[in-house]
Amino acid sequence: MLIPLREADGRCGTKAANLGRLLRAGFDVPAGFVIGDPTGDHGWGRKLESALPDLGPGPFAVRSSASAEDGGQASFAGQLDTTLGATTTAQVVQAVRRIARSGAGPEVTAYAARTGEAAGDVVPVIVQVMVEPEAAGVLFTRHPVSGADQVVIEATGGLGDKVADGTVTPQAWTVDGGGVTGPGRAEAPVLTRAQVLALGEVGRRIEATFGVPQDIEWAVAGGKVWVLQARPITTRPEGSRPVSSGPGAVLLRGTPASPGTALGPVRVITGLDDFGRFRAGEVLVCRTTSPAWTPLLARATAVVTEIGGMLAHAAIVAREFGIPGVVAAPGAMAMLADGQQVVVDGSAGTVASATSAATDR
Amino acid sequence: MSRHTPADVLVLHAVRTLGYGDTARVAARVGLPEDAVREHLLDAQAHGWAAHTSFAGDGGWSLTEAGRVRGERLLAAELDGVGARPVVEEVYRDFLPLNAVVAGACTAWQLAELGIGEQTMTLAETVATLQGPATALAGIEERLVSHLDRFAGYHHRFSSALTKAGDEPAWITGTDRDSCHRVWFELHEDLIATLGLVR
């Protein structure tokens, strides 16, 4: 059973159902279809052979549509299985089989664990034309850490799948009403102001379509905003706006990654050979972190990194230790000097100079 | 046929993936006697590849820049020796979307624990979300181990942590134990080191 994406509904998995709804609401979603039950229905292979050329020459993206049925929780399930860049019919068939065989989505596994029954194997699979994006990324219709009512856009040039990885720093914009801030000191912005505004507008319209704040994967190609996935923001922060740090002048801005405010002396650490210089209670300033850096983070008052995003190692470990963290603050290592007293506000994403009032706190 | 990595390379690489650890932990990681591992670590220290430091009393090993560079060179030679570079590159491409799921689930759970949220992830939902990567990890490990047996163990460690997380949430992102996030991040570091990528 091949179902055109435009007709996808709840039987096709949450992800395809959401894409179907977006198509019917007039959004640009790459053309595709859903195979409802690739393991149970054996007729799909032949239908796919004739349907694939209608989509175009490829390449194609093949993804699992399995996702938590309530849609608002555990939303990462839909990302579990993806094959990008399949070009021939044989490759697409193979990818569909692999994803279908990879079995039940996590929610099905959990359900099976609760009921003690074997998990059903129905994993609907989506086949879509891959767009060749000029830029791609994610956007949130609420600030994912501060909860402010803004559209936050993270973008990289080309395919957007590195944004969540933490190894590439996405360029970030914030759209607040008609105002645009960003992308900081990026040498070559990957989006124009008009594209940023268009993305903000698409985000708002999708939020209105579904009625709750959305986490959206998008791509810009051929002058269009393509919607690749939309789902409710899993963790919707409180409505509080980020507070700009009170003390001193703001020296640096980055992505707020671990909440809280802390005061301490800066220690710039350039690499492994530099670890011996770090002292407990200092503000760790570095390019990025890896497991070797965990003992430093454990003793740091706060952390500031030059690259990475909300999902980077430094961000996750900082939250674990309950220390404020600001990531993707370009130039931090050059701008901050050892021993300098700073206030790191991990909720606002700022590093400020400490005033005497702050030092007294 | 799967290749056995020499002990001195294993020990140096364990320090890289652990990031920081005492002799006992490095020995446990590579599954070799502590005395033998200590000898390899002291050798590495003498060559300037590893450093022993102590933060507030608890001592541990970490790599120097020279050790990191040497480790990557040894791993690259091994990888090309068994002709497994295309396989590991493909595994890494498959790993990245899973990595987004794991990092995202860890983040969502932490934000929920911090109370920054109205719609928060429950522990059960977090564990359920991590089941997918846990299952996929079995296949990833199998593909790696068919060429290099030093990759064995990640799936078991991750699944064990996930099983315990249902009762004790510290097993999700705790840094004081072999938690889901720590095991996952070690694998990430392992792949990056093996392919000589820059973080």
Minimal Cβ distance to B132: which of A105, A161, A167 = A105
Higher model confidence: residue B34 or residue A38? B34
pLDDT digits (tens, 9 = 90+) for A1-27: 789 999 998 788 888 999 999 999 999
B180 shares its domain with B95: yes
Chain A residues whose CB is inside 8 A of the B183 CB are none
In a 3-state reduction of DSSP, which class is residue A158?
coil
Answer yes or no: do B126 and B42 share one domain. no
**In this prediction, what percent of chain B has a pLDDT beyond 90?**
71
For residue A119, pLDDT beyond 50: no
**Alpha-carbon distances of B155 from A62, A95, B96, rounded to whole Å:** 25, 23, 16
In chain B, the number of structural domains is 2
Quick one: pLDDT at residue A303? 96
Domain A1-130 grouped into CATH 3.30.1490.20: yes
Give percent of chain A above pLDDT 70.
78
On whether both B126 and B173 belong to a single domain, the answer is yes
- A134 to each of A47, A225, B9, how far by Cα in Å? 32, 11, 42
**Chain-chain contact of B98 with A238 (C-beta, under 8 angstroms):** no
Residues B117 and B54 in one domain: no
Q: How far apart are CA A271 and CA A307, in angstroms?
A: 14
Q: What is the pLDDT of residue A231?
A: 81
Place of tokens 């959990």: A110
Q: Does B23 touch chain A (CB under 8 A)?
A: no
Quick one: pLDDT band at residue A276, thresholds 50, 70, 90?
Answer: confident
Q: Where are the beta strands (DSSP E) in A212-333?
A: 214-221, 224-232, 250-253, 255-258, 261-268, 283-286, 302-305, 325-327
Cα–Cα dist A299/A314, whole Å: 13
- Of the pLDDT bands very low, low, confident and very high (cuts 50, 70, 90), residue A116 is very low
Are B98 and B177 members of one domain? yes
ipTM, interface predicted TM-score of the complex:
0.77
Judge whether B199 is closer than 8 Å to chain A, CB to CB: yes
Q: Which of the four CATH numbers 3.50.30.10, 3.40.50.300, 3.30.360.10, 3.40.50.2020 does domain A250-360 have?
A: 3.50.30.10
Is B65 in contact with A273 (Cβ distance < 8 A)?
A: yes
Hey, is the C-beta of B182 within 8 angstroms of any chain A C-beta? Answer: yes
Range of the domain at B18: 7-78
pLDDT of A72: 31
Please check whether residues B128 and B68 belong to one and the same domain: no
Mean pLDDT along residues A256-261: 88
From the list B186, B161, B187, the residue with the least C-alpha distance to B174 is B161
Q: pLDDT tens across B151-178, in order?
A: 999 999 999 999 999 989 999 998 878 9
Burial category of B169 from C-beta neighbours within 10 Å (exposed 0-12, middle 13-18, buried 19 and up): middle
Question: Is the pLDDT higher at A51 or at B141?
Answer: B141
Q: How confident is the model at residue A296 (pLDDT cuts 50, 70, 90)?
A: confident
Question: Residue A343, CB half-sphere, CA atoms under 13 Å: how many?
Answer: 22
How does strand A283-286 pair with strand A261-268? parallel
User: Across residues B43-47, what is the average pLDDT?
Assistant: 93
The size of the A-B interface in CB pairs under 8 A is 173
Domain termination site, one of B78, B111, B127: B78
**Is residue B146, in this structure, part of any structural domain at all?**
yes
Q: With pLDDT > 90 as the criterion, what percentage of chain A qualifies?
A: 29
B85-135: pLDDT as tens digits:
999 999 999 999 899 899 988 988 888 887 765 557 889 989 999 999 999
- CATH for B24: 1.10.10.10
Task: Give the per-residue pLDDT at B44.
Answer: 95
Tokens representing residue B71 in the block: 């480790």
Nearest C-alpha neighbor of A15 from the set A86, A101, A105, A84? A105
Across the range A316-324, mean pLDDT stands at 86
Instruction: Please tell me whether residues B93 and B177 are part of one structural domain.
Output: yes
Does this chain's domain A1-130 share its CATH topology with A250-360? no
The overall longest dimension of chain A from CA atoms, in Å, is 74
pLDDT at B52 over 90: no
Q: B185 with B93, same domain?
A: yes
Residues in B touching A280 (Cβ below 8 Å): 55-56
Judged against a pLDDT cut of 90, whether residue A358 lies above it is answered with no
Residues 140-169 of B with CB under 8 A from A: none
The reply to whether residue B173 touches residue A298, judged by beta carbons under 8 angstroms, is: no
Beta bridge partners of A137: A155, A218
Q: Is the pLDDT of residue A240 over 50?
A: no
Give the tens place of pLDDT for each residue, A54-110.
888 888 988 888 654 333 322 233 334 577 778 888 888 888 887 776 654 443 443
Mutate to test the interface with B, among A272, A278, A293, A347 (most CBs of B within 10 A): A272
Among candidate residues B25, B58, B78, the one where a domain is terminated? B78
**Which residue on chain B is closest to A323 by alpha carbon?**
B114
Instruction: Name the residue in chain B with its Cα closest to that of A260.
Output: B114
Q: Do residue B169 and residue B107 come from a single domain?
A: yes
pLDDT band per the 50, 70, 90 thresholds, residue A132: confident
pLDDT computed for residue A102 by the predictor:
60
Is the pTM here over 0.80, yes or no? Answer: no
Residue pLDDT, tens place only, A143-180: 766 667 889 888 888 765 555 445 567 788 889 877 88
Three-state DSSP class for residue B142: helix
What is the per-residue pLDDT for A114? 36
pLDDT at B55 over 60: no
Distance to chain A for B103, nearest Cα, Å:
6
Which of B17, B62, B99 has its CB closest to that of A275? B62
- Domain regions of chain A by residue span: 1-130, 132-241, 250-360
* Whether B45 contacts chain A with CB within 8 A: no
Of B116, B135, B175, the CB nearest to A320: B175
For residues B66 and B100, state if they share a domain.
no
Look at A74 and B126 and tell me if their CB atoms are within 8 Å: yes
Summary mean pLDDT of chain B: 90
Comparing A43 with A329, the larger pLDDT belongs to: A329
Least confident of A144-148, A212-216, A283-287, B192-196: A144-148
Q: Return the structure tokens found at B2.
A: 């799967």
Check: CB of residue A319 under 8 Å from CB of residue A297: no
pLDDT category of residue A187 using cuts at 50, 70 and 90: low
Of B53, B78, B103, the last residue of a domain is B78
Q: Which of A76, A81, A273 sits opposite B105 (nearest CB)?
A: A76
Query: Rounded to the nearest 5°, which phi and psi values hold at A188?
Result: -135, 95
Output the six-digit token pair for B170.
Answer: 């510290």
Are B94 and B185 found together in one domain?
A: yes
Homologous superfamily (CATH) for A132-241: ATP-grasp fold, B domain (3.30.470.20)
Between residues B75 and A214, which one has the greater pLDDT?
Answer: B75
Find the residue in A nearest to B110 (Cα). A319
Nearest CA in chain B to A66: B132
Q: Report if residue B2 sits inside a domain.
A: no
Residue B1 lies in a domain: no
Q: Is residue B127 part of a domain?
A: yes
Q: Min CA distance, B142 vs chain A (Å)? A: 14
Q: Tell which wins on pLDDT, B66 or A168.
A: B66
Please give the pLDDT value at position B162: 96
Looking at residue B56, its pLDDT comes to: 46
